[in-house]
Structure 1
């Protein structure tokens, strides 16, 4: 959740959040992530149906920043007629994929009514991506604008050509595991890679600004003398950028790029060659 929020603040530096409603928030993890990213946060509400999760979250929150420590922990059973507290930002995290389709739509609508800006995050699986994509489509049909991760409001280009079940939009963050974490999860490694899909949308088109940089959709492929990036572009396409050493500036930028980084839609120089990625090429990979 912290990485998704950080992606958002990187892409939308003008975004200010003074209040948040954390829908299906459980122990309030998303609220902690928002408090870390937005120092102006003063009011937080965590809404969840589990009294145990809310009690645990309230106990942990005593050690948090002021907005978290003073949060309201509200037991809420999500239904088609649920009314949520008003806030500057609404978060629906790791929830939609667990709901039936009609309730997914009702929760998305309730969150959109409660706040002018909405963050939805799900596990980075085909099912999680499908839930995010359905909510994204519902919001854009209602006139909302996508802030992150997409550089445009039109149809997802990956979904449009998703003739392969293993092709979906997601990102990843590496988490360090403590000894306790390893013991609880039966893990051996000192880390794990958490994959997630997300969307941030708003009613306010001014928040997007004048530029909509592309996003790197996969780990960059580095070979001798070149870097290959797969980028989602503002024109609604997915393309491949091949950057060579013939342009030091572009090459250095590409070497520093990572999965989820922004990338300019206009090539930094002539050595960045955009190409269309066909299904046949993808199958060969």
Structure 2
């Protein structure tokens, strides 16, 4: 895929995106215009960001899918989807969703269509203003909004979340795993619950987030295996990177969140595992699982940051 991604990026196709694009990704320059202006922008930014976006969205969708194992979306709308990373993630999570990618940058849509032509041929690529006035077809099963809210002005951000919440059975929002990204997810989470959706992941409840803003933030990590091309574009030497992201998955479906979620990397000690949890009833807490807990100890040693905890455990 990398050669196609970079085909329109002269004269140095392996160069990283311009700083203004990275600033938009980090949510520092909200705008009311397309961020990706031409084929060169799209090719460079897709090569730089698409693999990590795919893995972050796939991780968020997998966490939601685990709570509704007998459900799969027939229709999926990806708001601000650009070259389609979230559409690839939805196809990797469920079989056969019919996806529509909405974006206001035609060059991004064009490249996304090229990349998906043989693998996701039924995907629709539509130009749309991402903000106030956005229309999402009523009855959509799944809406994703990934790495978009930080690019928008506050009023457009609220309009996008409202459009998703009104139209879809399930809404999954993903932002960078920064304090600012978490705050945008937290704000959108409140908007989703006020619209009548239930939080299914990562939170174990739909009540107020127990994290105190400014003291901590909720985020997770997805492992991204780097190709040689990706390492060249990123200017790195390691064969992998960890993409930090914040997310929320909300739904009108009959779904039950996990009793708790591991919100930090488990700490392995001799004969014990320390787990930092966000819990359904007791908020944030640390629990210690020792060898005397038997199979629970083995589960804890195998557990990862972001995993559900507490299902079928005493």
Instruction: Kindly provide the CA deviation profile for residues 122-153 of structure 1, in whole angstroms up to 9, marking residues without a partner as x.
Output: 11111111111111001112221001111100
1:170 shift after superposition: 0.7
What secondary structure is seen at the aligned counterpart in 2 of 1:218?
coil
> Structure 1 residue aligned with 2:231, among 182, 193, 199?
182
Aligned equivalents of 1:171, 1:249: Cα separation in 2: 25
Aligned residues: CA RMSD: 1.6
What secondary structure is seen at the aligned counterpart in 1 of 2:300?
helix
> Structure 1 residue aligned with 2:136, among 68, 71, 84?
84
Name structure 2 gaps, 5 residues minimum. Answer: 1-56
Partner of 2:72: 16
Mapping for residues 25-64 of structure 1, pairs under 5 Å = 25-41=81-97, 43-64=98-119
1:266 shift after superposition: 8.1
Partner of 1:280: none
Partner of 2:245: 196
What secondary structure is seen at the aligned counterpart in 2 of 1:88?
strand
Name structure 1 gaps, 5 residues minimum. Answer: 269-285
Instruction: Kindly provide the CA deviation profile for residues 243-272 of structure 1, in whole angstroms up to 9, marking residues without a partner as x.
Output: 11122222111111110111117863xxxx
Aligned equivalents of 1:20, 1:149: Cα separation in 2: 20
Partner of 1:146: 199
RCO higher in structure (CA 8 A, sep ≥6)? 2
Aligned equivalents of 2:137, 2:232: Cα separation in 1: 38
> Structure 1 163/97 Cα, relative in aligned 2: closer, same or farther at 3 Å?
closer
1:15 shift after superposition: 2.6
Mapping for residues 73-222 of structure 1, pairs under 5 Å = 73-86=125-138, 87-158=140-211, 161-164=212-215, 167-204=216-253, 206-208=254-256, 212-222=258-268
1:97 shift after superposition: 1.2
> Structure 1 36/267 Cα, relative in aligned 2: closer, same or farther at 3 Å?
closer
TM-score by length of 2: 0.78
> Structure 1 79/249 Cα, relative in aligned 2: closer, same or farther at 3 Å?
closer
Aligned equivalents of 1:24, 1:89: Cα separation in 2: 14
1:163 shift after superposition: 4.6
Aligned residues: 257
TM-score by length of 1: 0.86
Partner of 2:296: 250
